[in-house]
Each structure stands twice: as C-alpha cells, then as structure tokens.
Amino acid sequence: MDQNTFKKLELLPDRLLEADNTVRIVWKRFRRHSGAMIGSVVLILLILGSLLAPLSPYDPDESHVLERFQTPSLQHPLGTDALGRDLLTRILYGGRISMTVGLLVVGITLSIGVTIGAVSGYFGGLIDNVLMRITDAFLTLPSLLVLILLSALLREVDIPLLQQSSVLTIGVVIGLLSWMTFARLVRATFLTLREMDFVTASRSLGASPLRIIVRHILPNAIGPIIVESTLELGYAIIEESGLSFLGFGIQPPTPSWGNLLSNAQENFIRYPWLSIFPGLMIFLSIISVNYIGDGLRDAFDPYKVLQTVGEV
C-alpha cells in the first residue's frame, strides 16, 4: 500500500466514530419530539396492517349481496359496503395501494429533483438559470388540473406497462409534477456548501465535479432531503386520494383510500361508516407523516445538534 492509502485507513475509525456520534445525536433529538414518536408508531401500525392484509379471511373483491351495508360488528369490525365486501379488508388493501403510490412518487421526485438541484446549485451560471426557469415553469402549472389531464392521457397512450398498472400511472403522473420543491431545496443547500473549505480543497486536489457532488456535498445535504421526503410522502397520499376521489386515480375494483371515500358519497347519510373509516386512514397517515417530518427537521437542525453535543 502507498502512503495515501495508509493515511485513509488511519482516518477511517475516526470517521466512523464521528458518523456514529452524529446518528446518536440525531436519534436522541428525534426521540424528544413526542409528536414524531407517536406519528412513527401510527405510521408503522398502518404499514404493518397493509402488509398483513392478505391474512384477512375475506377477499377484498368478492361480493356478498346478502351481507351488504352491515354495521360494524365482531364479524365485520368496520362493517360492509354496498356489495357486501368487508370494509376493513378493503381499507387494508387500499393502504397498500396508497403507500405504494407514495413511495413511488418519493422515488421519482428524489431522482429528478435532487439531480436538477445538485447540478444547478454546484455549477451555477447559465446552467443554473436554465434549470431554475424550467423549475419555475413547472411550478406555475395548476397541479390538480394537470394531474387529471395527464392521468387521462397516459391511459390512452399505447404503453403496455402504464395501461396494465394504474398504480404506476398515478405514481408517474404525481412524481412528474412534484419534484420542484426538492430541486429548489437541494439547489439552495448546494449554493451554500459549494463555498465551504472542504469543497475547495477537493477541487484543488483535482477531484471531478461528479465526485465532489456525490462524495462530499450530497452527504452533507442529506438531512433536509430526508425531511422533505417524509413530507412528500404525505403529499403524494393526499394527491392520490384526491385523484381517486374524483375518479381519475386508482380505478375500481382495486381499492384505494380515495376511491373508497368516493364510492361512499351516495350512502354517506344512511351508512356513515363507509366514508368515516377511509377518511380516518387518510387523516392518520397524513398527520403522522407531518409529525415525523417536524421531528426530523428538529433532529437535523445543525444548530440544535451542536447544542446537544455537550449533553452526549
């Protein structure tokens, strides 16, 4: 091994210790946020319930006309719908759809937004102006109307993968219209970090822009990105529910929280549980994600982390 390799190996334990200490500080601050901890428990329970949905003794799509509109009971804890299907089972399966769409949207927005924001913030100048004007153009679009239009158009386009999966279609549509916040956030972070001494040192040693972005700047911007990702998950669930409620999202018989709520409109007065329980799932998921985001924002706040160093 050459001398540089030995130096890197000598510094490795110190770097690992520093990273471990940072994680412990962030976790300690996150635990102090009671709302974030409660939100985490609620979200975990919702995810576990959705994952364990196949264990239900009822088929989510099988009709039992003689059992239609049954009130909540031991046999059907949340009652049955207009076709006699167990509402709890359909809500659990709907949670799988809504959560999948949310994660898909977060993945798409991260891929697009972080890339554009990183390139724009690091290089600046003409590249920054062009990319930010494109971002501003997307921000001016009326999101709900464009979501409805794109959702309808993509179903007509001859793309087998999109036509076979309405979940993928909705995820792509929402993701294509939701990356702008990530782009602006990452750009602002990169504009600050690119002037730091460690970036200047890496550049003077001949590191390529790609290496500086990926290995040096991006890890230091991970905190705000994680926080925004949690908030984006909640936003995606709301958007999917809204589209499905209006009839442009996940199509029946596939259940989602949005179309369960939509299908309950006609019977809201006589059978209120059909709309109360899907609406409650949407509310719980959004409020828990927002509280988690608030907790992560406090945990990753660099000034608060520095104040906590002396306490660890």
**Tokens (6 digits) for 159:** 């793309």
Q: What is the pLDDT of residue 237?
A: 85
Show Cβ contacts of residue 9 under 8 Å, excluding neighbours closer than 6 positions.
Answer: 1
Q: How many CB atoms lie within 10 A of CB 1?
A: 7
**Tokens (6 digits) for 164:** 């076979």
Is 27 inside a domain boundary? no
Tens digit of pLDDT for each residue in 189-225?
898 888 888 888 888 888 888 888 888 888 888 888 8
Per-residue three-class SS string for 159-217: CHHHHHCHHHHHHHHHHHCCCHHHHHHHHHHHHHHCCCHHHHHHHHCCCCHHHHHHHHH
**Tokens (6 digits) for 280:** 């409650």
What is the number of domains present in the chain? Answer: 1
Residue count of the chain, please give it. Answer: 312
Is 26 inside a domain boundary? no
Average pLDDT over residues 55-81: 87
Percent over 70 (pLDDT), the chain: 85
Q: How many CB atoms lie within 10 A of CB 286?
A: 16
* Amino acid, res. 249: G
- Supply the CATH number for residue 154's domain: 1.10.3720.10
Is 95 inside a domain boundary? yes
Does pLDDT of 97 surpass 80?
yes
Average pLDDT over residues 61-88: 87
Percent over 90 (pLDDT), the chain: 19
Is 109 inside a domain boundary? yes
Is 10 inside a domain boundary? no
Tens digit of pLDDT for each residue in 45-59?
999 999 998 888 998
Q: Which of the listed ranges 44-48, 144-148, 173-177, 296-300 does the model predict with the highest average pLDDT?
A: 44-48
Q: What is the distance in angstroms between the CA of the first residue and the CA of the last residue of the chain?
A: 37
The average confidence (pLDDT) of the chain is 81
Which residues are registered as beta bridge partners of 86? 80
Q: Is the pTM of this model over 0.75?
A: yes
Residue 104's domain spans which residues? 33-57+77-309
Inter-residue contact 154 to 169 (CB < 8 Å): yes
Is 257 inside a domain boundary? yes
Whole-number Cα distances in Å, 204 to 65, 122, 201, 215, 217: 74, 15, 5, 15, 15
Q: What is the pLDDT of residue 41?
A: 94
Tens digit of pLDDT for each residue in 99-121?
888 889 999 999 999 999 999 99
Tens digit of pLDDT for each residue in 257-287?
888 888 888 888 888 888 899 889 989 998 9
Does pLDDT of 158 surpass 70?
no
Is 126 inside a domain boundary? yes
Does pLDDT of 293 surpass 80?
yes
Q: Pinpoint the alpha helices (H) of the chain.
A: 3-32, 34-51, 87-123, 125-139, 143-156, 160-164, 166-176, 180-193, 197-204, 209-211, 222-246, 257-263, 273-300, 302-309
Is 67 inside a domain boundary? no
Inter-residue contact 90 to 60 (CB < 8 Å): yes
Long-range contact list for 188-192, CB < 8 A, 24+ apart? 188/121, 189/117, 189/121, 189/220, 189/221, 189/224, 190/117, 190/118, 190/120, 190/121, 190/122, 190/217, 190/221, 191/121, 191/124
Q: What is the pLDDT of residue 8?
A: 43
Does pLDDT of 162 surpass 60?
no
